[in-house]
Structure 1
Amino acid sequence: MPDGADRRQTDAEVAHWRMAVEALADLDAVAAPEAWAALEDYLRRSVRDRLSGVVAALTAEGLALQRMLDDGHDLRAVRHGLLRLRRRYLQVETVLDFYGDAVNSRTSPQLRGLLRGFDALAGDSMATTLTRLGIDPPLALVYQDRGLGAAILRAGIRLWDDGHPSPAAAIKLTRHNLSHPTALLHETGHQVAHLTGWNSELAAALSERLTRRSTELAGVWEGWAPEIAADVHAFAQAGWAPVAALSNVVDGSTRAVYRIRAGDPHPFPFMRVMLNVALCRRWYGTGPWDDVATVWEQRHPPGSAPGDAGALTRAGMAALDEIVDVCTRQPMAAFRGRALSAVLDPRQVSPAALGSLARQAGASLLSSSYLRRHEPLRILAHLATRAAAEPAHAGDHRTRLLAWITDLGADTAAPVHRAA
């Protein structure tokens, strides 16, 4: 190809991708201004500033490439830089689309108010654990989406290079679970476990304890540690409330609840539900969680579990008390040499403790702004159990829960980080 044609074509290609990058700078095209306005000021500033920084870095890269071309650098080097710029552009576009979709999920005044409340709850969940450990909690951005399960893009994850970490813990809640939102505390548990180093430490502790029973059992539970940590975090902050929500999400045919998927970090559904029941039994004794276990064992008899799942079920069920003790009572460096239960005491969210809170507060449980800001997680734990405990009145309980969460969002004018 003649050098003149190559240079003209390369010049046009650089101009194309530079214009594409510059268009990304308009964050009001990424999410509607009214959706941005629905975020608290501190959260909006943090997210927009970080995303603007990502685009600014990419813009500088495009300008540097243009200077290389203008200064007569070798076209092969310019071409290499151009392909790199294009790859960077697609990465940044993906990041902007993700946050744009999350912000734009606040599509109505009602949903905006509700998601602001969830932002506050997620922030309180992380702060309650992390501030006791001397770790600054990240901001939280909660969005609504379809599907069965929740998810998180952790704060601090590198967006596309070492200089641009994710600006907030972006947490997906599904529509069906907005009225039973304890999955939020599972997702914040992932962030907590990441920041404290709990995942690897729990994996090693489970492996060490279960190796006494079988190396195969130890290896499987070691691989499940990140999801176990998140489940245990939700239990420690909400008691038995997550059990009902979890059983609804992971239920299915008997074949499905015993299916082991290669590379899946989650325990297979039957074992996961039984672990969550065991957490409640070990800390609280008998209770409504026993109904969940009884029904699951009747619908999905462990004796019918096929192959490896059957062997892992039998061995895992026998080891559940030990597993619970490792997760909640064994001192960990992640918790400054203490057990998780010394940082988050599960007894504070036992049915008896939550019932006492509700009785003492009376009508003010739902109306008091003081209680909303000082006992948000315990009130959430109490309200999230009402529909499961009284299904005949589930609609009324849902209305009260969502109204309370919306009121919590309205209370939150600035982040409150405390060791509650």
Structure 2
Amino acid sequence: MRTAADTRFLVNETLALFSRLQTVRSFSLSTPMVLAAAVSAPAQAAINAHLAHVAFDLRRKLLAFVKWLHSPESRRLSAAKTQARYVLLKLRFNNLLDQVDIFADVLGQRSEHGTGTWVAGLDVLAEDALCLPGNYYTAPPLVCFLERGHGAAIRRARTRLPGGDLSPVGVIQIPRERMIGSGIAASLIHEVGHQGSELLDLTTSLKQAIEKVIAEGHKEDALPWQLYSRWLNEILSDCWAMGHLGITATYGLLSVVSLPSYFVFRIGTDGPHPFPWIRVKISLAFGALLFPGPQWAALSQQWEDLYPLDELSADKRDLIHRLETVLPIFAELVLSHRPKSLQGKQVADIFPVAERQPDQLRALYDTWQQHPHLRELVAPSLVFAVVGQAKADGRITTNDEGRVLSHMLNRWALNRARNYCAVPAAPAPAIPSLQTA
């Protein structure tokens, strides 16, 4: 049986946990930033409401546990079993702190001078790349933050947070070293593609289409198709970036996968990522279909010059040849695929391909040279596509690229802040605030 000392100890520990829970405050009260650097109003509301809900539920459980400890029913349990119940509450508290830290990473750097508004501008770019014409889904709020390291990543909205709760927003991690250049858009929209592909359930339906292709005509050499199927999540995200950015997507990818040859040709057949050499080739294949022109063949030859196949083993050269042989058919299959979620449309139809052909991007760049203010009237992803095409053509210097994109990120952040200030505030959610939870 449990002793009075055991009960006193558990009551004190639970109340101490309750006291620490009171220090978890709304980010609206604890995160300083200029208005333009703030996350979107829907994202801010979703994050605060989510954390308030978790905190309030935990507060209720802690108080109920203290009350239960003094009940006759609880005295029939041993100290060990009572301690086990307390530990579950403590773990839940730690889950809440883990969730707070995830969103604190997003919001904390918004107070950095300059960086905060740039990141807010990236939020606008991300939301632009996720919002498709056609109302195929309800796009969740997206928020970005910068992190050290080489790769980008996303914690998709409606996936599990520590403790099992669903994330109210998509959280996109972007490498700080890629700020600011057109390559940042390739990384960012690739991650947006993970969210969009999931909302459209593209991976599942395309895997079924690939299985059908294998069954109907490629049984004898199924391995290339099986590998493309295994890599499909990453391939679709690269396709998403290509559909919005054109050749800017491939150049951004090149900056990520330009590694020592050992890693470029490190062929792992059991992971989710295509090995870098073929990943660039896949991007080029999508580009050639969506935005026809001579630049793709030239860039393909440049990639082969940078990473020739001559010194590879016969086995690696053979596998690469087999992958390249079916690549045009595979790329066509992806772009012409008509999943149920697209209501009869092809995958290629969801991207703004018609307005982003290379010659049109070049013409826009010429117009903007004479009338720079016109850049502010178009979608953020189009701005990156135009600037990236100009860079690929050698028409803009790196310094000018950074200057233009820095200005536009600040402008998008400021415009969003002004728009939210002009709209009457929505009623607060019917959930107790964190500071009172």
- TM-score, scaled relative to structure 1: 0.88
- Determine the structure 1 residue equivalent to 2:155: 153
1:189-208 superposed matches below 5 A = 189-208=193-212
Write out per-residue CA displacement over residues 392-420 of structure 1, whole angstroms, 9 at most, x where no aligned residue.
721112111111121122111448xxxxx
**In structure 1, what is the Cα distance between the partners aligned to 2:383 and 2:34?**
28
Write out per-residue CA displacement over residues 27-80 of structure 1, whole angstroms, 9 at most, x where no aligned residue.
468x63337883143432222222222222222222222222122413454322
- Determine the structure 2 residue equivalent to 1:409: 413
Cα deviation for residue 312 of structure 1 reads: 3.0
- Determine the structure 2 residue equivalent to 1:283: 290
- Change over 3 Å in CA distance of 1:334–1:305 after alignment to 2: farther
- Change over 3 Å in CA distance of 1:284–1:124 after alignment to 2: closer
- Change over 3 Å in CA distance of 1:299–1:200 after alignment to 2: same
Cα deviation for residue 262 of structure 1 reads: 6.2
Cα deviation for residue 91 of structure 1 reads: 1.9
Contact 2:361 2:389 in 1 (8 A): no
The letter for the 2-side match of 1:253 is P
Farther-moved stretch of structure 1 (18-27 vs 182-191)? 18-27
- Determine the structure 1 residue equivalent to 2:173: 172
Cα deviation for residue 222 of structure 1 reads: 1.0
1:367 aligned to 2:378?
no
The letter for the 2-side match of 1:209 is V
- Determine the structure 1 residue equivalent to 2:327: 320
1:343 aligned to 2:336?
no
Write out per-residue CA displacement over residues 227-257 of structure 1, whole angstroms, 9 at most, x where no aligned residue.
1111111111111111111111112122111
The letter for the 1-side match of 2:45 is R
Contact 1:199 1:226 in 2 (8 A): yes
- Change over 3 Å in CA distance of 1:377–1:169 after alignment to 2: same
**In structure 1, what is the Cα distance between the partners aligned to 2:276 and 2:175?**
19
- Determine the structure 2 residue equivalent to 1:34: 33
1:301 aligned to 2:300?
no
**In structure 2, what is the Cα distance between the partners aligned to 1:149 and 1:222?**
22
**In structure 1, what is the Cα distance between the partners aligned to 2:317 and 2:178?**
30
Contact 1:387 1:398 in 2 (8 A): no
Contact 2:210 2:225 in 1 (8 A): yes
**In structure 2, what is the Cα distance between the partners aligned to 1:78 and 1:105?**
42
Give the match's secondary structure for 1:106. helix
Give the match's secondary structure for 1:135. coil
The letter for the 2-side match of 1:154 is R
The letter for the 2-side match of 1:375 is A
Give the match's secondary structure for 2:172. strand
- In structure 2, runs of 5+ residues without a counterpart are 421-437
1:238 aligned to 2:245?
yes
- Determine the structure 2 residue equivalent to 1:121: 125
Cα deviation for residue 325 of structure 1 reads: 0.6
Contact 1:347 1:353 in 2 (8 A): no
Cα deviation for residue 192 of structure 1 reads: 0.6
- In structure 1, runs of 5+ residues without a counterpart are 416-420
Write out per-residue CA displacement over residues 171-200 of structure 1, whole angstroms, 9 at most, x where no aligned residue.
111122221222111111111111111121
**In structure 2, what is the Cα distance between the partners aligned to 1:391 and 1:146?**
30
- Change over 3 Å in CA distance of 1:96–1:395 after alignment to 2: same
1:107-146 superposed matches below 5 A = 107-127=111-131, 129=132, 131-146=133-148
- Determine the structure 2 residue equivalent to 1:218: 225
Give the match's secondary structure for 2:145. strand
Cα deviation for residue 306 of structure 1 reads: 4.2
Give the match's secondary structure for 1:219. helix
Contact 1:331 1:337 in 2 (8 A): yes
Cα deviation for residue 10 of structure 1 reads: 2.1
1:384 aligned to 2:388?
yes
Relative contact order, CA 8 A, sep 6+: which one is greater?
Answer: 2
- TM-score, scaled relative to structure 2: 0.85
- Change over 3 Å in CA distance of 1:44–1:185 after alignment to 2: same
Identity of paired residues, percent?
A: 21
- Change over 3 Å in CA distance of 1:37–1:357 after alignment to 2: closer
Farther-moved stretch of structure 1 (403-412 vs 279-288)? 279-288
- Change over 3 Å in CA distance of 1:263–1:99 after alignment to 2: farther
**In structure 2, what is the Cα distance between the partners aligned to 1:2 and 1:338?**
66
The letter for the 1-side match of 2:108 is N
Write out per-residue CA displacement over residues 71-95 of structure 1, whole angstroms, 9 at most, x where no aligned residue.
2413454322212112222222111
**In structure 2, what is the Cα distance between the partners aligned to 1:333 and 1:372?**
35
The letter for the 1-side match of 2:350 is V
- Determine the structure 1 residue equivalent to 2:426: none
Q: Alignment RMSD, CA only?
A: 2.6
The letter for the 2-side match of 1:9 is F
- Change over 3 Å in CA distance of 1:307–1:165 after alignment to 2: farther
**In structure 2, what is the Cα distance between the partners aligned to 1:363 and 1:151?**
37
1:252 aligned to 2:285?
no
**In structure 1, what is the Cα distance between the partners aligned to 2:84 and 2:275?**
46
- Change over 3 Å in CA distance of 1:294–1:210 after alignment to 2: farther
